[in-house]
Chains A and B, each alone.
Chain A
């Protein structure tokens, strides 16, 4: 029997977007004490990998590129049941855009694969801070992995034959794709719910020593392709969106009765968008 698949899950630590706000008076960003979380999309990727490990055995390594504090995200992932964790951290990586990020991650994945080739790389669909959805495809391209984006299910995997088939969300439907390992999967959201680790898992996670690789340790060859230097895109300006000038206009009725309010609401909506009525009468089957 073959051993189970060797899997790498790329996760990113991101600021919890719910906690970021713009100061109404000074118009500056209030980032004080904003807690960080694992990019929520990556949790679906992690669970998909753990599920495969349940079925087939093998190993799940979580990988992140980020500042030293990103180690806490890895520790969390270990607590959910991942086997191993690697933090890619170096000042040369700072300010990376998607191209430079995928370059550094690729180096690290190759390094992880030096021991035993990596069969599947998982990423989330996108991050909530960058949300570009490009790092996954970037890694696939650089490593020459078969690229499977927006995967909603992995119905079969045959390690012997080195084949995998997946359901991929496409416009207007689901593609059933079959390809060869090694591959890269970006996992679609809401496809599963990340498991809670067991007590031994969290104890192990708390004690684990997180491996930290700098550029050299990760085997990065060209520092010019890392970080700010290796990023063709540059952020020239960050600003707060103009808040919507007006709050919602409240719809009321003199007698306050639900029926009267509802009738007023219908008219308000139809007045605001005259084309709505044609959409409605077109779509509505007689109910």
Chain B
């Protein structure tokens, strides 16, 4: 039932949805600047860019929230938030915030919100952002709209958050009229990132974290970076090549891997290949696998079922190769080749190899 789009509410109901008096003090648009291991997740800059539009529409300030240990990376994040047009940045620096953990982060964020009262709070829909947003929204007893694809300010100055639902087959617009802050998460690479203005600065507001390590139950024993394992890096790959049942035999997966290698790409697959044990589960793309947003996605012998589509259609460019000219993948791919993948994949690998060799010589 969670946010399943029930019938839109009856018109006459608006009265109960008015903002209670004590919440009218909530002002400004906040963006959580996601900092981990000294690096800011780019989604934060995308959100500040988007947040600027909302703040301007409301005529209020745009503020960043930076949580982290006392460190160079944290200060750099604060400075950069201004470059991406924040007017003000709220900062809590504390050793307890060195590694992400839900408890101290939730406390830090809710304390800031309760004290400084933003009307809108945006977070990236990353694993960290989603973990934090759910806990914060529940603590604050406010509304949270997840994975938004479009944000706007409507006539009565509320946030109209639009998001896909039913596995991407529908969109719905969700309002939080009677609670504050209005919280949203947005997936990486949904919003455009503006150009930073390196000269900009603004006001920094520092607050303490009122918490002791002993009161935090969860301990981080270790962090295994993905670069240390051969785990697929599909989610953030710039280029992804994937194979489907059109490959016909497990041996032919090599054709996909070959192309991926020449392109410096990650490779993945549709679900049946995982079910057959031809590829590992971390390489599955789609609703029950990974969502990818590469610059270029090459889908080879994949029919384009809705479950595969929702995980891959965010790619900037999609090239699909399929024998069947009516395959649904051609409905959302940008370019298509009708033909046999077993012939086309080696040809494509060779064509890229040649083209890149030329370019490398030139460069």
Contacts and interface: CB of A to CB of B under 8 A. Distances in A.
B295 A279 contact: yes
B170 A233 contact: no
A61 interface: no
A131 B339 contact: no
A171 B127 contact: yes
Contacts of B223: 170, 173-176
B344 A134 contact: no
A3 interface: no
Interface of B: 1-6, 8-9, 17, 34, 36-37, 41, 99-102, 106, 126-128, 130-131, 133-135, 137-139, 141-147, 160, 164-179, 217-226, 228, 238-239, 261-265, 274, 281-282, 284, 287-289, 295-296, 305-307, 310, 316-320, 325, 329-340, 343-344, 346-348, 350-353, 355-356, 359-360, 363
Given A173-B223, A248-B335, A94 B1 contact: yes
Contact of B305 (A18, A142, A175, A234): A18
A228 B359 CA distance: 60
Given A128-B287, A173-B228, 15 more contacts: A94-B1, A97-B143, A142-B138, A149-B130, A170-B100, A172-B225, A173-B224, A234-B177, A235-B172, A239-B171, A248-B320, A249-B336, A277-B359, A280-B356, A284-B264
Contacts of A276: 295-296, 317
Contacts of B343: 258
Interface in A239-274: 239-241, 243-244, 247-252, 258-259, 261-263, 265-266, 268-270, 272-273
A53 interface: no
Contacts of B265: 283
Which of A141, A146, A249, A284 counts the most chain B CB atoms within 10 A?
Answer: A284
Nearest to A93: B1
A150 B331 CA distance: 32
Contact of B363 (A21, A179, A281): A281
- Looking at chain A's contact residues, is the secondary structure mostly helix, strand, loop, or mixed? mixed
A236 B174 contact: yes
B252 to A, nearest CB: 15
Interface of A: 12, 15, 17-18, 20-22, 29, 40-41, 65-66, 93-99, 101-102, 127-138, 140-142, 146-150, 165, 168-180, 189-191, 228, 231-241, 243-244, 247-252, 258-259, 261-263, 265-266, 268-270, 272-273, 275-277, 279-287
Nearest to A170: B127
Nearest to B161: A233
